[in-house]
A and B are shown apart, each in its own frame.
Chain A
Amino acid sequence: MAIERQQVEQLAHLARIALDESTLSRTTRSLADVLALIDQLQAVDTTGIEPMAHPLDAVQRLRADIVTEPDQRDVLQAIAPAVQDGLFLVPKVIE
Chain B
Amino acid sequence: MSWETVIGLEIHVQLATKTKIFSGSSTAFGAEPNTQACAIDLALPGILPVLNAEAVRMALMFGLAIDAEIPKRSVFERKNYFYPDLPKGYQTTQLAEPIVGAGHVDVDLADGSTKRIRIHHAHLEEDAGKSLHEDYAGQSGIDLNRAGTPLIEIVTEPDMRSAEEAVAFAKKLHGIVTTLGICDGEMAQGSMRFDVNISVRKKGAELGTRTETKNLNSFRFMEEAIKLEVERQIDVIEDGGRVIQETRLYNGDTKTARSMRSKEEANDYRYFPCPDLLPVVIEDSYIAELKATLPELPDAKQKRFVVQYGLSAYDASILSADRVMSAYFEEVVTASGDAKLAANWVIGDLSAALNRSSLELGQSPVSSVQLGDMIARIKDGTISGKIAKQVFELMWTEGGTADEIIEKQGLKQVSDSGAIEKIVDDIIAASPQQVENYRGATEDKRPKMLGFFVGQIMKASQGKANPQQVNEILLKKLEG
Q: Is the CB of B278 within 8 A of A59?
A: yes
B141 at the interface (CB under 8 A from A): yes
Check B279–A14 contact: CB distance below 8 A: no
How would you classify the secondary structure of chain B's contact residues: helix, strand, loop or mixed? loop
Between A and B, how many residue pairs show CB distances below 8 Å?
Answer: 126
Q: Is B19 an interface residue (CB 8 A)?
A: yes
Q: Which of A66, A87, A90, A92 contacts B33 (CB 8 A)?
A: A87
Does B84 lie within 8 Å of A88, measured CB to CB? yes
Stretch touching chain A among B218-226, B267-275, B384-392:
B267-275
**Residue with the greatest number of chain B CB neighbours at <10 A, chosen from A53, A63, A84:** A63
- Between A and B, 17 residue pairs with Cβ closer than 8 Å are A59-B279, A61-B50, A62-B52, A63-B24, A64-B53, A65-B52, A69-B24, A76-B34, A85-B33, A86-B32, A86-B33, A87-B33, A88-B144, A91-B138, A92-B133, A93-B131, A93-B140
Q: How far does the alpha carbon of A10 sit from the alpha carbon of B266 in the complex, in Å?
A: 11
Is B26 an interface residue, CB under 8 A from the partner?
yes
Q: Contact between B38 and A69 (Cβ–Cβ < 8 Å)?
A: yes
Give the number of chain B interface residues (Cβ < 8 Å).
54
Contact digits for A59-95, partner B, Cβ 8 Å, 1 yes 0 no: 1111111111101110011000010111111111111
Chain B residues with Cβ below 8 Å from A76 are 34, 37-39, 42, 44
Which residue from chain B places its CB closest to the CB of A10 in the assembled complex? B265
Give A76 to B145 CA distance when docked, in angstroms: 13
The residue on B at minimum CB distance from A58 is: B278
Report the minimum CB–CB distance from A89 to chain B (whole Å). 5
Determine whether the beta carbon of B136 is less than 8 Å from that of A59. no
Task: Judge whether B17 is part of the interface by a CB distance below 8 angstroms.
Answer: yes
Taking a contact as CB atoms under 8 Å apart, the answer to whether B18 and A67 are in contact is yes
Cβ–Cβ < 8 Å partners of A62 in chain B: 50-53, 56
**Counting CB contacts under 8 A, is A5 at the interface?**
no
